[in-house]
């Protein structure tokens, strides 16, 4: 019993510690890329080429004083960032980094991932409501409406993947792409999933819940020090998670495009593909303007959802036709 507990703790730490380091240096890469896009200097003082800047930022947030608004609901205000960060870490439990390299290889991995993603809406509502600020509350309502709306299109696009692979297990989904990646037959679903991932993580051009010009900073406007840092870590952890899920669902996970390159470890392939999408997240933030809120909702309900349902029915018709031909 003790051995199992210690083994679980070690596996958990080997997942969480690299994740936190990746989040820290993701922020550094983002700041350097945005600086290059805007033709200015990025972080370059703390350490060589600014490599120690994330550690300095973390130390600054750690030693700062946490301010609790006098009129806030203190208990929920304090618990909201803790729950948000905990859910962000929980989503990584079923992510396979290679053959057998997964903390919990459950058969309902896709359902578990989307359940965790749906629960994060509640923590944002908790943060916005407990702050007792109209800006925070409006940002929380925007975020909840946005995440619920785009989860529909994202879920329908994933159903197409599940129909193609016949499993809810993330490892099985990757193995099923050994001959051809899902991005080729399911390209429209890939585009919809990636754009919905931008909306689910509140990133440009769908960052309406955190619109600085209107809501100052959104649902976390009243947070400071480590409370704000927990929201920050959760947001960037979810971005990396969405990029890896995109790779798992549509780009073959840890599998190379050609078998000649199979000698390279799978975790390196998975990381390389995820870095491409992480960089795309940053570039989109630097080059695209923010949508209006009515445009955001129109895009989700009138464009993404109908297209995803249409392609799902189209895929079902093709699979039934092939099944009928085989039986005939």
Q: Tens of pLDDT along 306-326?
A: 999 999 999 888 888 887 777
Same domain, 203 and 238: yes
pLDDT score of 214: 62
Same domain, 164 and 216: yes
pLDDT score of 245: 92
Same domain, 173 and 265: yes
Q: Tens of pLDDT along 231-282?
A: 888 888 889 999 999 999 998 888 887 766 777 787 888 888 999 999 899 8
pTM for this prediction: 0.89
**Distance between CA atoms of residues 149 and 76, nearest Å:** 25
Same domain, 155 and 131: yes
Same domain, 156 and 49: no
Same domain, 231 and 322: yes
- Looking at the domain assignment, is residue 7 inside a domain? no
pLDDT score of 212: 62
Total number of domains constituting the chain: 2
What is the domain range of residue 24? Answer: 18-63
201 CB-near residues (< 8 Å, 6+ apart): 235, 238, 239, 242
Q: Name the domain boundary from 63, 81, 100.
A: 63
Same domain, 249 and 264: yes
* Mean pLDDT, residues 124-129 taken together: 87
Pairwise pLDDT comparison (35 vs 100), residue with the higher score: 35
Q: Tens of pLDDT along 292-307?
A: 888 888 888 899 999 9
Same domain, 32 and 96: no
Same domain, 42 and 124: no
Same domain, 231 and 123: yes
Same domain, 112 and 154: yes
- Looking at the domain assignment, is residue 312 inside a domain? yes
Percent pLDDT > 70 in the chain is 95
Q: Tens of pLDDT along 159-210?
A: 999 988 888 888 889 888 888 888 988 899 999 999 999 888 888 888 876 6
- Looking at the domain assignment, is residue 136 inside a domain? yes
- Looking at the domain assignment, is residue 10 inside a domain? no
Q: Tens of pLDDT along 5-38?
A: 777 777 777 777 888 888 888 888 888 888 888 8
- Looking at the domain assignment, is residue 3 inside a domain? no
Same domain, 310 and 289: yes
- Looking at the domain assignment, is residue 2 inside a domain? no
């Amino acid at each position: 019993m003790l051995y199992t507990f210690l083994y679980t703790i070690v596996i958990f730490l080997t997942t969480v510690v690299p994740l936190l380091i990746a989040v820290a240096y993701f922020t550094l890469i983002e700041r350097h890329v945005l600086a290059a896009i805007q033709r200015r200097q990025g972080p370059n003082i703390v350490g060589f080429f600014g490599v120690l800047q994330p550690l300095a930022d973390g130390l600054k947030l750690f030693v700062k004083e946490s301010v609790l608004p006098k009129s806030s609901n203190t208990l929920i205000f304090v618990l909201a960032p803790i729950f948000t960060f905990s859910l962000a870490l929980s989503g990584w439990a079923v992510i396979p980094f290679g053959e057998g390299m997964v903390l919990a290889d459950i058969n309902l991995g896709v359902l578990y991932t989307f359940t965790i993603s749906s629960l994060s809406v509640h923590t944002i509502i908790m943060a916005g409501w407990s702050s007792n600020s109209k800006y925070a509350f409006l940002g929380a309502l925007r975020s909840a409406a946005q995440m619920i709306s785009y989860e529909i299109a994202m879920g329908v696009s994933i159903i197409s993947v599940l129909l193609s692979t016949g499993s809810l297990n993330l490892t099985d989904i990757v193995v099923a792409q050994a001959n051809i990646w899902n991005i080729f037959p399911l390209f429209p679903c890939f585009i919809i999933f990636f754009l919905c991932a931008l909306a689910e993580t509140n990133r440009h051009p769908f960052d309406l819940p955190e619109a600085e010009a209107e809501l100052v900073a959104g649902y976390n406007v009243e947070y400071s020090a480590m409370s704000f840092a927990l929201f920050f870590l959760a947001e960037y952890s979810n971005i990396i998670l969405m990029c890896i899920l995109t790779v798992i669902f549509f780009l073959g996970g840890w599998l190379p495009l050609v078998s000649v390159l199979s000698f390279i470890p799978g975790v390196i392939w998975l990381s390389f593909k995820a870095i491409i999408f992480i960089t795309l997240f940053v570039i989109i933030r630097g080059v695209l303007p923010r949508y209006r809120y009515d445009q955001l909702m129109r895009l989700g309900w009138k464009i993404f959802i109908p297209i995803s349902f249409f392609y799902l029915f189209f895929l079902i018709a093709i699979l039934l036709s092939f099944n009928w031909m085989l039986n005939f």
